[in-house]
Amino acid sequence: MKPNPAILLSLLVVSFSVMGQYQNHSGLKNKKLRLANVDNHQTFDQVQGGLPSEEKLPDWPSGGKSTRSKSGIDSAIVLDDAPLQLTVMIYFSGVSKANIQVSVATDKAQAKSYIASQMVTVMEGQSPAEITLKAIMPENMEVQSKFLSVEMKDPERIAQQKDYIFSLGKRWTSQIKGENLVQVINLEPIGSAASLWQLAAADPLPNPSKAAAGTTPSLATRTGIPAPGSTGDKTPRGPSRQPFSLWDNIKTDIDFELSDINNIRTEIYPDINPASETFYISPVAYNLRWNKEEGYQNFKVLYGTNNEVMFHAGLDAGITSKQLETTRYLIRKLMKAQNVEMLSPKIQLFGANTAPAMSLKSDFQGVFQIDPSKLDVTAPTDFTSPLQVSWSTDNKTRDMIVLALQNGVGLNGTLTFGTDSIIRKIPVSIAFNDKRNYGKIILEKGTWRQSGWQNPFPYPVKIRYMHALLDNGVRNDGSNYIYSWNCNGPVAPPSSRVNFNGAKIPQWFDNSNKVIQIWLEYDIMPCPACTQTLLQSLTTGLSGSSESNIVFQSMDLVSSLDAKLVQVRVKSTQADPAHNREAEISANITKDGEDMRIGPLYPGQDKRLSYQYKIIVVNSQAQIETSWISETSPQVYLNKANLERIMGRPIK
């Protein structure tokens, strides 16, 4: 009977909750702050004592401008508490117009310049005012702010001012940069691995205590694999209905997912014609694939016209040539245990020769309310070809999809393919923090002690174990051993490096033919900020529009002000490809005379830029910060004279 292919791909969004990684860094989120009991004669810089008691908020002098019985600041509530950011909501009443300036006191005198005050002008009826303080600090530093100062001034009568000092208890924390962080992992042997270092290269290997788990029948329980004939028909006829386990006779000391060894499922289907020496495999899953050179170039979000957002995701199985080589080795070893010599077994993708027939329309209609005519799916045909999924939707549905990606849930489903007699179901996942996206961390057996490993991924990685697959060295024995070492779970941030202390692993291990593969078992750690950065890098602007960068050049700011740092911040709706919200981007200038590009901005069809920028200068004495300046030019030159003109005062 001719195979009747049935390929079904379904993507389902599961329920999720919004969780921020750093939104409650000091335990202040949603907290209503207490007014500090401070002597009116004390200046804010002198307020460094213990926690004061609460007192009633004073009224703002109305000056005849308001007939309300209470005026001034009513309360201060923390909206967001990040390591280098604090957002507070200032509630006020009885004020026709006022300037509200917010600042913090720090426990280190030199840290005063790291956290600039912020001021907003408010009118009656605009309560609450949302104000965000941001810290610019050297790496690997922590600063404490016990108090928050809120100053309320009448812009028309400078003498009319009221100060409010609140108990805060905020921790500002800057992390060490990943590229400057090196950790040492002491490899602790587990089970039989503990006796390896006592052995010589020629000694028999210790026997691990467990058989690798699996439900597929052992090759030894099969009716038998006939020896391939040296002559006769060697034409493949398709997969048989009796698979065997690729991990048959593998022994280990710990339980772990065998998919951690490679991306090929444990069930192997031999061809109906054993003389063909052909075997059929299927992948563990189809995922987005990330690589060091291009990142997630197989995932794109494009904003079109008329509120249309287009998505494209290319997913693949991640089956590498190294994994195919390991699979052929294991097949040869298993066959040799059955007295079958097989020098070069052939491997094919299960179901690759069947014509695809797919249905995604009902799932996308039900979950995303996407027009079936705006969905396209192309199934893979071999190890290297991707599963292509493209669809378009509106901004509302786009937000739901992005939220799922940001929270680590992603889009999950199943790819089903096969024949009338054999059906295979393969998981499909579109999620940035799925560890299968990043592949196996393979260590080179000759250099792992000297080279260590550097995290190239865009997420922090928790390293759990180091494993090694070894041939037991016994002829006509199908057994292979996996030895494991505990890494005790250090977390390696992006770009950081780990070195290995392998004192309890023998030197012969590094160059022995018995060692087939060495790899690290790891987890990708949650990081919403990392996902947000990825999404921004993968999103392109409105179709028909062009991207633009703004060029800032410091003529003398760094040298004339002895600046440790000059930061330029830009905000504009054009920084959001969809033009739905005002987004902020920033960059640092460390040297005069060099162009510093900020972008991209998406100006739209007319190609006219519209943005605001501010300059922050930090030196050893103070932090200087301008107000927001409106601009349309693609190039801005910065010098001390211009900064003094913007500030309206001389700068020393």
The tens digit of pLDDT for each residue in 593-612 reads 878 888 888 886 667 889 99
Q: 61 falls in which pLDDT band (50, 70, 90)?
A: very low
pLDDT of residue 624: 82
What are the Cα distances from residue 586, in Å, to 89, 380, 566, 631? 24, 41, 11, 15
pLDDT of residue 250: 81
Compute the average pLDDT of residues 30-53. 58
Of the candidate ranges 297-311, 316-330, 351-365, 373-387, the one whose mean pLDDT is the lowest: 351-365
| Dihedral in degrees, nearest 10, Cα atoms 105, 108, 109, 115 | -50
pLDDT of residue 45: 45
Of the candidate ranges 116-130, 296-310, 562-576, the one whose mean pLDDT is the lowest: 296-310
Most confident of 135-149, 308-322, 604-618, 629-643: 135-149
The per-residue b/e assignment along 494-518, b for 16 or more CB within 10 angstroms, e otherwise, is bebbbebebeebeebbbebebbbbb
Q: DSSP string of 613-650? A: EEEEEE-SS-EEE---EEE--SEEEE-HHHHHHHHTS-
pLDDT tens digits for 325-348?
888 888 888 888 777 888 788 988
pLDDT tens digits for 142-164?
999 999 999 988 877 655 678 89
pLDDT of residue 302: 79
Number of Cβ within 10 Å of residue 560's Cβ equals: 16
Look over the chain and give the mean of its residue pLDDT values, rounded to a whole number: 78
pLDDT of residue 523: 93
pLDDT of residue 94: 84
Compute the average pLDDT of residues 435-445. 89
Bridge partners (DSSP) of residue 174 are: 141
Q: Is the pLDDT of residue 215 over 70?
A: no
Compute the average pLDDT of residues 423-450. 86
Residue 79: φ, ψ to 5° = -95, -40
pLDDT of residue 456: 94
pLDDT tens digits for 394-426?
777 777 777 777 666 777 777 776 666 677 778
Determine the Cα–Cα distance for residues 199 and 514; give it in Å rounded to an integer.
Answer: 13
pLDDT of residue 63: 40
Bridge partners (DSSP) of residue 434 are: none
Of the candidate ranges 9-18, 221-230, 491-500, the one whose mean pLDDT is the lowest: 9-18
Q: 300 falls in which pLDDT band (50, 70, 90)?
A: confident
Determine the Cα–Cα distance for residues 215 and 212; give it in Å rounded to an integer.
Answer: 10
Comparison of pLDDT for 506 and 42, the residue scoring more:
506
Of the candidate ranges 41-45, 109-113, 309-313, 368-372, the one whose mean pLDDT is the lowest: 41-45
User: With pLDDT > 90 as the criterion, what percentage of the chain qualifies?
Assistant: 20
**DSSP three-state, residue 233:** coil
Number of Cβ within 10 Å of residue 579's Cβ equals: 18
